[in-house]
Chain A
Amino acid sequence: MRKHIALVTLLFCVWVPAHVFAGMPTDDVRNCVNEALDILRDPALKGDAKKQEKEAKIRSLSAKMFDFQELSKRTLGRHWKTLSPDQRQEFMSLYRRILEDAYMEKIVAYTDEEIVFDNEIPLSEKTAEVRTTVRTKTADVPIHYRVIQSGGTWKVYDVVIEGVSLINNYRSQFREILSDKTPEDLLEVMRKKVGKA
């Protein structure tokens, strides 16, 4: 009997996947969302004068919350490997800029919707989906964060809003460009986009 217990214990130790020690996906997402809300609601950061400071804080939070490499990889799919290491780096930083620029205004103008954490669904050993609902006055908007375990925490690699996956949306756009253009052309398009923004 004791042998069995020892064996079971041993097996348990071996089998317990690493993510058990990494905390729960929902907790990590919730912490980041709450941190964002704190920044957005901070009375000390109100007003136009503090807008830059606020944006800087949100930007540094986004680095903590998102896994931009995973996000980039999954967005480009099979095209990822056609990029050189330098191109990948540049792609990642441009992509991040585009996302931050586009959504910053919306985020900073954030009002006071209630965010409800519904549940979380394991997608694989290393990934999970954290399901939330944003309650506005006229609708409940389902927002699902797909997270991947990365260095002891869970980081977001996709946001699915009302069924629309962010990375798949960009993926179809990039794919259209890459179907008849080179990665360098794509980067040029993105550089222009960032320069304009």
Chain B
Amino acid sequence: MSTLRGVSHDVVFMCLLLQTLCANLYISPAGASEHAGGQFCFVPDRLDNRGEHLSPGDFVPLESSDRTQIFGSLLQNEGVSADGLLIALEETTANGAAEKVNQKAADGEMPTEDAGDEYEEDTENGQLLTIADPLSGWNRAMFYFNDKFYFWVAKPVTQAYSAVVPEDFRIAFKNFHDNLYSPVRLVNNLLQLKFKAAGNELIRFVMNTVLGAFGLADPAKEAFGIEAQDEDFGQTLAFYGVGHGFYLVWPVLGPSSARDTVGFVGDLLAYPLTYARNEIDTEEVLLIYAHEKINALSFRIGDYEALKKAAIDPYVAVRDAYVQHRAAKVKN
């Protein structure tokens, strides 16, 4: 699923802001944290574990870890770990610099007077990721449309769906749809030189398709702790330095950008159903797609509402959340 998210997040996707039940993302925080915390995060300088100097964006292959799970050491997700380290390093240095200046400001008579400037400079928590929005007229109109679409169509349909389909089934369906995107993740992990993650994806796809009844179950994760690393073509483009271009909101599909729209289309090339046209027709593909979206939404009803309630300007809030969220995924 996530692969098509570049464009396909329905409006609801944005509720990433919430502390709650959102998200169907493939990140492996446990794995990442073992590395970032245990091995690296207290390294004060930009040195990796072999004493080499790093700069942001460097690709750092890691040694196998001491994970004791079966297959764990073989299958550990390398990409996540390495990036966890880089993020940690970037944050450490960026905030370190800013905090020092803030400290100086705090030592002065007016502690808060000048501090604001430094937050603006601060490249980590102060960094304001921005995106060009030359089509804001169109985008705001589509945002308004999607808002109505959510409340008038998507939400009631999803609620009815949830009332009929028990949660366990919906979880199985979610696994099924996620599994269909496995080839997409595989290709994009390869394109981003994340070979271990690509290997994981291959094992996941085979294991879940065969043992997991065409992906309805996720034995690769449940039994072997092999997690997916969510990569899509938008992220691959970003990996090679392509920027967002500009913000673009699609009707129904939701927030995207020029780059991620290209990514969305590109990913269709690796999506299995693209090649099943002889067996199923376009209408059925759309139905499967709609089911995927409704099924995913059934786990996050209420998120968009809360986001909207929290926002001063919901349009800007969603746009910013989109940019921040995508940036975080690119880092991973």
Binding site for B on A (CB under 8 A): 73-74, 76-81, 98-99, 101-103, 105-107, 109-111, 113, 116, 118-127, 129, 131, 133-134, 136-143, 146, 158-159, 161-177, 189-190, 193, 197
Quick one: which of B29, B34, B113, B310 contacts A99, CB cutoff 8 A?
Answer: B310
Given contacts A121-B41, A138-B174, contact A162 B16 (CB under 8 A): yes
Say how far A142's CB is from chain B's closest CB, in angstroms: 5
Looking at B98-106, B207-215, B261-269, the stretch in contact with chain A turns out to be B98-106
- Residues A176 and B99 in contact, CB atoms below 8 Å apart: no
Which residues of A have CB within 8 Å of B151?
none
- Residues A146 and B125 in contact, CB atoms below 8 Å apart: yes
Task: Sample 22 A-B pairs with CB under 8 A, ordered by A number.
Answer: A77-B117, A78-B120, A81-B112, A81-B114, A99-B310, A106-B306, A109-B302, A119-B34, A123-B95, A133-B29, A138-B24, A139-B299, A158-B125, A161-B18, A162-B325, A163-B325, A163-B329, A164-B325, A164-B328, A170-B317, A173-B316, A175-B128
Total A-B residue contacts, Cβ distance less than 8 Å: 203
Say how far B124's CB is from chain A's closest CB, in angstroms: 7
- Residues B21 and A113 in contact, CB atoms below 8 Å apart: yes
Given contacts A123-B95, A139-B22, contact A74 B126 (CB under 8 A): yes
B313 within 8 A of A: yes
Which residues of A have CB within 8 Å of B91?
121, 123, 129
Binding site for A on B (CB under 8 A): 16-25, 27-30, 32-34, 36-38, 41-42, 88, 91-92, 95-96, 98-100, 103, 112-117, 119-120, 124-130, 167, 171, 174, 299, 302, 306, 309-313, 316-317, 319-321, 324-325, 327-329, 331
| Distance between Cα atoms of A31 and B124 in the complex (Å) | 26
B2, closest chain A residue (CB): A139
Which residues of A have CB within 8 Å of B30?
116, 118, 133
Which residues of A have CB within 8 Å of B319?
172
Say how far B25's CB is from chain A's closest CB, in angstroms: 6
Which residues of A have CB within 8 Å of B24?
138-139
- Residues B19 and A136 in contact, CB atoms below 8 Å apart: no
Quick one: which of B113, B130, B310 contacts A81, CB cutoff 8 A?
Answer: B113
- Residues A102 and B115 in contact, CB atoms below 8 Å apart: no
- Residues A136 and B21 in contact, CB atoms below 8 Å apart: yes
A113, closest chain B residue (CB): B21
The 8 closest A-B pairs by CB, nearest first: A163-B328, A119-B37, A102-B310, A124-B99, A118-B33, A80-B116, A123-B95, A172-B320
Which residues of B have CB within 8 Å of A136?
21, 23, 299
- Residues B36 and A141 in contact, CB atoms below 8 Å apart: no
Given contacts A172-B320, A175-B128, A177-B312, contact A163 B327 (CB under 8 A): yes
Which residues of A have CB within 8 Å of B125?
74, 123, 146, 158, 165, 167-168
Given contacts A98-B310, A103-B306, A176-B316, contact A123 B124 (CB under 8 A): yes
Which residues of A have CB within 8 Å of B115?
73, 80
Quick one: which of B16, B25, B113, B311 contacts A173, CB cutoff 8 A?
Answer: B311
| Distance between Cα atoms of A118 and B313 in the complex (Å) | 33
Which residues of A have CB within 8 Å of B309?
101-102, 105, 197
| Distance between Cα atoms of A122 and B28 in the complex (Å) | 21
| Distance between Cα atoms of A142 and B22 in the complex (Å) | 10
| Distance between Cα atoms of A146 and B124 in the complex (Å) | 11
Given contacts A99-B310, A116-B30, contact A78 B321 (CB under 8 A): no
Quick one: which of A159, A166, A168 contacts B129, CB cutoff 8 A?
Answer: A168
Say how far A48's CB is from chain B's closest CB, in angstroms: 18
Given contacts A99-B310, A101-B309, A141-B21, contact A172 B41 (CB under 8 A): no
Given contacts A131-B33, A164-B16, 17 further A-B contacts (CB under 8 A): A77-B119, A77-B128, A106-B18, A106-B19, A110-B20, A116-B30, A118-B32, A122-B92, A124-B96, A136-B21, A136-B299, A138-B24, A141-B21, A162-B23, A163-B331, A164-B17, A177-B312
